[in-house]
Amino acid sequence: MDREVLERFRIGDEAAVKAVYDRFGGSVFALSMSILGEHGLAADATQQTFIKAWRAASTYDPERSFAPWIYAIARRTAIDMYRKQIRVVLSDEIEVAVYPPGLETAWEVFEVRSALDLLPDEERQVVKLSHFDGFTHIEISEQLDIPVGTVKSRSHRAHQRLVELLRHVEEA
């Protein structure tokens, strides 16, 4: 994130809030989806996360990386929401520490999505079609109506960028 944007976010500037959402909204939503597994709940968690972040913006230290800061808020928010949902199912008398199943890979989901959102659209599209939809290069070229060579070069560049952006992601 641009330092100036973060400085403005820190003092509660509305335009900066939008800029921060544009950069991290997808990551927070993906994290929320991985923990909560339901679209509506994830949307609520995402909205709550950014409102909490905005409220707490004055406590953010712009000298430190922003991603882990908002990740921590998003993770906490999603866990709290998950526990509220579980409590409906469990007896009121049973108070146990319940951790959602997607929690182990929450950081990786957040980081991978953050990296994907930095890719150019055409490269991101190729990555999605190959990894998520399981298409081959030839199938992608047919799908997008572009030469196979173009698919390969986009795939090469996209994966190069991804590996570089995700270099710090450690095995869970």
Partner 1 sequence: MSAEDLRAEYLASGSGDSPRDSGRLDLIRGVLADEATWVEPPPQVVDALLAAVAREGSSSIKDPAAVGRARWPVVAAAVGSVAAVVALVFSTMSVLEADKEIVVAMTGTEIERGAGGQAAVGPSGSGWWIRLDATGLPPAPEGSFYEGWVWSDEGDGVSIGTFHLRGGDTPVTLWSGVEMAEYPSIWVTLEQEDDGPEASDLVVMTGRMPDA
Q: Which stretches of the chain bind partner 1, using CB under 8 A?
A: 11-14, 17-18, 21, 25-26, 28-30, 33-34, 36-37, 39-48, 50-51, 54-55, 81-82, 84-85, 102, 105, 108-109, 112-113, 116, 127-128, 130-132, 134, 136-137, 155-156, 159-160, 162-164, 166-167, 169-172
Q: How far is the CB of 166 from partner 1 (least distance, A)?
A: 6
Q: How many CB atoms lie within 10 A of CB 59?
A: 9
Give the nearer residue to partner 1 in terms of CB position, either 69 or 85.
85
Q: In Å, how far are 6, 7, 89, 132 from 102, measured between CA atoms? A: 29, 32, 19, 18
Rounded to whole angstroms, the Cα distance separating 48 from 157 reads 35
Give the nearer residue to partner 1 in terms of CB position, either 72 or 86.
86
Burial call 154-166: b when 16+ CB within 10 Å, e when fewer: bbeebbebbeebe
Q: How far is the CB of 133 from partner 1 (least distance, A)?
A: 9
Give the nearer residue to partner 1 in terms of CB position, either 56 or 72.
56
Q: How far is the CB of 61 from partner 1 (least distance, A)?
A: 18
Q: How far is the CB of 113 from partner 1 (least distance, A)?
A: 5
Q: How far is the CB of 150 from partner 1 (least distance, A)?
A: 14
DSSP 58: G
Give the nearer residue to partner 1 in terms of CB position, either 144 or 159.
159
Structure token pair of residue 39: 């679209």
Cβ–Cβ under 8 Å, residues 73 and 26: no
Residue/partner pairs of 145-150 with CB below 8 Å, 24 or more apart:
none
Give the nearer residue to partner 1 in terms of CB position, either 69 or 165.
165
